[in-house]
Structure 1
């Protein structure tokens, strides 16, 4: 009796990420993923169906990884603004790491996909709407959130270059003055 080979979806997602990072979304194809994974085109189609589903799978994997990290950093804090503050902490703490740089580059490339763009747009809109700007805390949190997002974007698009020391200082200032 022969065993069926099981296709490792996470391995395929890793291959898809590598292709996206090196060639962009336009370089991604089912054929290319199959060749790099050394499996049939049908195997990739069985797991994902089409290119859009591959893109969505990469986005969802990055989103799951992000949510796990936010949960770890929040340490069970369920206060009103805990998630947003933890998000800012995540950006400030990990912005200079190689892994976050990879994630941010993948997300930046994936923004070319309409569903990814709309999902992130909705997340940001929801985050901003959750802040009560009638309070001093809410006003400061909104500024901290927008500032951290702007820094994250500007650094990852190479609009500004700061040393790791400078990045830490800027984010420490943000936390000191706004959080």
Structure 2
């Protein structure tokens, strides 16, 4: 097995993500990543150290991608809730998008990792805690946020099977009545 002079961390993360999507976290190993990347086991260990760091790297990559999308969607508004509204827009805009489908699958698998699960719990608690529910706007936003999260989860876990048209109509209703 030949090694490359410079190891591309992003390339390794894409291999790790692919393994996680196809085999789950239990199928992930340093040896398997090294073999698929055609590099030494030591090369993978040098970049990540261990399996937990590989999982963390995949989560951070997806989190960075998400934050980039949220920044793009919220940059034209001065609302104190611009990021939460951008989150809802992200879910509604990309509800049938192949990339969102991939992200939702990655998150579902990564939730098996305790630190990822706790991080998402903290994020949701913080998001809900940032809403002033003493106002009508805050009450509607809380409902919109929780509804969009429920839709995302239901679609991700395939609890409901909606056509793209139905999904778009539901999210348009959400925006019309709650935002």
Give me the TM-score of the superposition, normalised by structure 1: 0.97
Corresponding residue of 2:6: 6
Corresponding residue of 2:46: 46
Deviation at 1:78, TM superposition (A): 3.7
Deviation at 1:76, TM superposition (A): 4.0
Q: Which runs of 5+ in 1 are unaligned?
A: none
Corresponding residue of 1:176: 176
CA-to-aligned-CA distance 1:50-72 (integer Å, 9 cap, x gap): 00000000000000000001111
Corresponding residue of 2:142: 142
Aligned length: 176
CA-to-aligned-CA distance 1:133-173 (integer Å, 9 cap, x gap): 00000000000000000000000100000000000000000
How many Å separate the matches in 2 of 1:75 and 1:128?
21
How many Å separate the matches in 2 of 1:44 and 1:24?
19
CA RMSD, aligned part only? 0.8
How many Å separate the matches in 1 of 2:138 and 2:29?
45
How many Å separate the matches in 1 of 2:75 and 2:130?
21
Asked if 1:126 corresponds to 2:134, the answer is no
| Structural mapping, 1:17-28, within 5 Å | 17-28=17-28
Moved beyond 6 Å, runs of 4+: none
How many Å separate the matches in 1 of 2:76 and 2:125?
24
Deviation at 1:75, TM superposition (A): 2.5
How many Å separate the matches in 1 of 2:77 and 2:53?
34
Corresponding residue of 1:91: 91
Match of 1:65, SS?
Answer: helix
Match of 1:160, SS?
Answer: coil
Asked if 1:57 corresponds to 2:57, the answer is yes
| Structural mapping, 1:93-108, within 5 Å | 93-108=93-108
How many Å separate the matches in 2 of 1:5 and 1:74?
41
